[in-house]
Amino acid sequence: AIRSGSGRRAAAALSVCASRAGDPVFAGRVADFALVAGARDAQTLKAAAARRPDPDLIAFQQGSPTWPVQVRQMYGQTAPQDAATRPTSKVPFDAPVATPAPTVAAIVATGPGQWAVNGWRLAEAPKVTAPGATLSRAGFDTRGWYAATVPGTVLTTLVDRGVYPDPAHGLNNLAIPEKLARQDYWYRTEFDVPADAAGKRQQLTFNGVNYAAEVWLNGQVLGTMKGAFIRGRFDVTGKLLPGRNAVVVRVSPAPHPGIAHEESLTAGVGENGGMMMLDGPTFGAAEGWDWIPSIRDRNTGLWQGVTLAATGMATLGDPHVVTTLPRADNSVAEVEITIPVANALAQPVTTLVRAAFDDVA
C-alpha cells in the first residue's frame, strides 16, 4: 500500500501483460522485481533494464504445483504409490446403493432372425468350485450369483448391485479393491431357442469381451476369444437343444493390469497407460491416464451385448463402404460397397446382394 496526499492509504496494483499485441496470455516467469521509493528518470530506468539477471542463478518460486513432462509413455508405475501421496478427504466414502436388477427376457427379438441374449448372472471365479461343463448345464443353481449388467463391466454390476459405491463420485474409487483386476469371472444365462430359429443355421456372437473368454454351451466348449475389440462368433447349429439351453463364459482380465495410481496434488498426474499396453487391443487408459485414476476391474467383462442369429446357408459379413468424390465441388459421390458372403454348404450357391440407402439403389 502507499500513502496518498490526503494521508489515507490507497491500494497499489501492478499488472503484467503479454508483450505482443493480440496475445492474451502471459506464459513467462518474473525473474526480478524491485519496489523503490520515489520516481526514476528515463536514463536510470534504461540502465536498470540493461542489467539482465543470470537465469542460472535464479531460484524461481513455485506459484502452483507443476509436474515434469512425461517421458515414460506406456511404461506405467514401477512401484506401489506412497500412501502419503494418495488423495484424502474429510468426507467418508458414499454408501453403496443398489439399483433394481434387470427383468428383461432372456431372449428378445431385435430384427428378422436376430435376438439379444439377456438374463446374465455373474460370479467371481474363486468363489465357484464347479467346472464349466457343470455350470453350462441347464438348471444349475445360481442363487448366490449377481444379476449382471450386460452390456457392462464387472464393476458396473458390482456397483449396480450395491457392493461398491459409485467410483465416479468423490474418492469412492479408493473404496474398491484392486483384486477385481486380478481374478477371473463367470457369466451365465439360460434361454429357450426361438421357434423361428429352428431348422436354420444358428450363430452365437459375443460383440465385445474384455479381455479373454472361454465359452461353454450345454456342457461343451464352444471356443475362446481374446482382445477387447474382437467379436467372438460361434456356430451353434446342431448344438442348441430344443428346450432350455445354458451358456457360460469364463472371462479373464488383461494379464498385465499394472500398478494402480491415484492422482493428487502431492503425487502429481499418473502415466498415460502402462503395462496393459502389452495386452492390446484393450482399454489401456483403465490402468490410469493422466488425471484418470486406475479403474479397479480394468473394464473386465461382457462390455458389449450377446446375440443369437438364425440364417440360411449363405450369410453376409460386415460391409465395407468406400466413398470417392471425383468432382471438385463434391456434387457427385461414387460409392463402392464390398460385402463378403459365406457359404456353409459343400456345393456352390448363387447369391444376389442388394444395397440401397435413401433413393439410391
Which residues neighbour 335 within 8 Å (Cβ) at sequence distance 6 or greater? 321, 322, 323, 324, 360
Q: In angstroms, rounded to a whole number, what is the distance separating the alpha carbons of residues 102 and 120?
A: 9
- End-to-end Cα distance, the chain: 79
Q: With cut-offs at 50, 70 and 90, classify the pLDDT of residue 31.
A: confident
CATH number of 141's domain: 2.60.120.260
Residue among 289, 113, 128 at smallest CA distance from 205? 113
Same domain, residue pair 301 and 333 = no
Residues 245, 361, single domain; the answer is: no
Same domain, residue pair 146 and 229: yes
Residue 120 lies in a domain: yes
Q: Which of 122-136, 163-177, 345-359 has the lowest mean pLDDT?
A: 345-359
- Whether residues 303 and 355 fall in one domain: no
Number of domains comprising the chain = 2
Reading the block at residue 271, the C-alpha cell is 502415466
List Cβ<8 Å contacts ≥24 apart for 168-175: 169/94, 170/89, 170/91, 170/93, 170/94, 171/87, 171/88, 171/89, 171/91, 171/93, 172/93, 172/94, 173/262, 173/293, 173/294, 173/296, 174/86, 174/87, 174/93, 174/262, 175/93
**pLDDT tens profile 61-87:** 666 666 667 666 667 888 899 999 999
Q: Cα separations (Å) of 28 from 16, 51, 52, 212, 236?
A: 10, 18, 15, 50, 66
Residue from 253, 303, 304, 252 nearest 276 by CA:
253
pLDDT at 337 over 50: yes
Answer yes or no: is 34 within a domain. Answer: no
* Ramachandran category for residue 2: left, alpha or beta (phi over 0 → left; psi -120 to 50 → alpha): beta
Q: What is the pLDDT averaged over residues 304-319?
A: 94
| Nearest CA among 199, 187, 189, 175 for reference residue 293 | 175
Same domain, 301 and 194: yes
Q: How confident is the model at residue 339 (pLDDT cuts 50, 70, 90)?
A: very high
pLDDT in tens, 190-233: 999 999 998 899 999 999 999 999 999 999 999 999 999 999 99
pTM of the prediction? Answer: 0.79
For 248-259, the pLDDT digits (tens) are: 999 999 999 999
- Considering the domain architecture, whether residues 123 and 211 belong to the same structural domain is answered as yes
| Domain membership flag for residue 274 | no
* Residues 236 and 351 placed together within one structural domain of the fold: no
**Does residue 326 lie within any of the structural domains?**
yes
Amino acid at 170: G
Quick one: 330 and 215 in the same domain? no
- Only one residue has cell 464347479, namely 130
- 119 and 207 share a domain? yes
Domain range holding 332? 313-361
Examine the domain organization and report whether 232 and 204 are in the same domain: yes
**Domain co-membership, 340 together with 304:** no
Average pLDDT taken over every residue of the chain:
90
Signed CA dihedral, 353, 354, 356, 360: sign only = positive
Average pLDDT over residues 236-240: 96
**Percent share of the chain, pLDDT over 70:** 89
Same domain, 225 and 350: no
pLDDT at residue 146 tops 80: yes
